[in-house]
Chain A
Amino acid sequence: MSLLASFRDSARAKPILERIRARRGGPVSIMEFCGGHTVAIFRSGIRSVMPERVRMLSGPGCPVCVTSNADLDRAAALAKLPGVILATYGDMLKVPGSHESLAEVKAQGYPVEVVYSTLDALKLAAAHPDREIVFFGIGFETTAPAAAAAVLQAEAKKLRNFSLCSVMKLTIPGAKALLSMGEVNVDGVIGPGHVASIIGADAWRFLPEEYGIPVAISGFEPLDLLAATDAILGMIDDGAPDLVNTYSRIVKPEGNRKAWGAVERVFELRGASWRGFGDIPASGLALREEFAAFDADRRFPLDIPPSEEHPACRCGEVLRGVAEPTDCTAFGAACTPEHPLGPCMVSSEGSCAAYYHYKRQAV
């Protein structure tokens, strides 16, 4: 078995699970702040093998899901501007905005291109000098370096027909907003491994230090998640909140300084609107003045009518950890992955989709 596959080895998982089960203590709620963890936890059946005292909660960790309808409406409007080709990651295509998804906009004949990487968006710009390539950029700290790198490359190659519509967000202000609201009790946090690979494990020390909440930075294999959960339970039961990095094969205490340096060079902080939360100050990344030539917001100012939400959709509450997808009357009925009413059912990392696909599955 390869070294990396060992992290999926159920024989190795067993003793960790036994340790978790042997722990005695009161009921605890552990939240993961990463959509990738949400899926991994459901896929591996970890939720259902936890002892009764351990409640696993999902937080606002899916960038597709926290994108507001106002931003989705703006993307749709950009795609309809003459001469524009809108490029975006595939995850965004089917997310319903106020009135339509980008897939529906594309079906009407407007140019919406799905790309795997900003590198492909740059290629589109080079191949279509007579068109404006607007990249609709979502994502958290993990994805921001790819956007920053694209802007820097567009500048270096003098690609004047490439611009970025940035709706990128930062996870730490999001996590702080959620904890400050006090709606949901969080005793421990599974820290987002790939976010931490960029900003560093130490960036999550605020949880034990400011909130007294233990955090374990985790990878995405079953073993990683079980070990992180066990570490968190240990810290809770000992009353000794701290930060543990169980993903040290990837995550360094200081993160990837080069990648984050590129982000800081290209972007500055601004307020951003999160589904379920509203405006969170200094939680979004906007292009600096110096890169105005590559900023779709500055280059294509648009007047967008106020956005609307689907009246049945409870995505906002799901993202704040105060409602389970099954609390939504539309779940599995009016709202399915084929006909999603909200982003939490579209995105493969959305809680509603994860519930839909894995909930009934045996472990």
Chain B
Amino acid sequence: MCLAVPAKVLELRDDDMALVDISGTQREISLMVLDGDAAPGDYVLIHVGYAIEKIDEEEAQRTLELFAQMEEFNAPAPEGEDPFA
């Protein structure tokens, strides 16, 4: 039920709507609950017709590198620090 799929924003439309591409299929979705702006070319995560988050590509890249190393990743993060920073 909490399934959410990545989509590429193609076009912004009226009423906080956007046309997106979800693995080859175009669909109109709402940006109403997305925190911040989305622009064509951005990747967003769609859940039941609403974009709920932008996908942070840099963070995805960093995560992959961390998964490959894993050592520091398992050390508890120091106070107030993001373990992925």
Contact = CB atoms under 8 A, between A and B. Distances in A.
Contacts of A120: 49
A149 B30 contact: yes
Interface in A118-145: 118-120, 138-140, 142-143, 145
Contacts, number: 150
Contacts of A34: 2
A227 interface: yes
A230 interface: yes
Contacts of B60: 3-4, 7, 249
Interface string B28-57: 011011110000000001011110110111
B2 A195 contact: yes
B83 A142 contact: no
B49 A119 contact: yes
A257 interface: yes
Contacts of B55: 4, 249-250
A146 B35 contact: no
Given A16-B70, A257-B35, A145 B52 contact: yes
Contact of B52 (A62, A116, A140, A256): A256
B50 A117 contact: yes
A74 B20 CA distance: 36
B47 A143 contact: yes
B2 A256 contact: no
B56 A249 contact: yes
A89 B48 contact: yes
B64 A140 contact: no
Interface SS majority for chain A: helix
A235 B60 CA distance: 23
Given A19-B70, A145-B50, A259-B33, A245 B1 contact: no
Given A143-B47, A230-B70, A258 B35 contact: yes
Interface of A: 3-4, 6-7, 12, 15-16, 19, 34-36, 62-64, 89, 91, 116-120, 138-140, 142-143, 145-146, 148-149, 152-153, 192, 194-195, 197-198, 223, 227, 230-231, 234-235, 238, 240, 242, 244-246, 248-251, 253, 256-259, 262, 347, 349
28 contacts: A3-B61, A12-B67, A16-B67, A89-B1, A117-B48, A118-B49, A142-B2, A145-B33, A149-B30, A194-B2, A197-B4, A197-B45, A197-B53, A223-B67, A230-B74, A231-B73, A238-B76, A244-B74, A248-B62, A248-B63, A248-B82, A248-B84, A249-B59, A250-B55, A250-B56, A251-B53, A256-B35, A347-B1
Interface of B: 1-4, 6, 29-30, 32-35, 45, 47-50, 52-53, 55-57, 59-64, 67-68, 70, 73-74, 76-77, 82-84
Given A149-B32, A259-B35, 5 more contacts: A7-B60, A194-B45, A256-B53, A262-B32, A349-B1
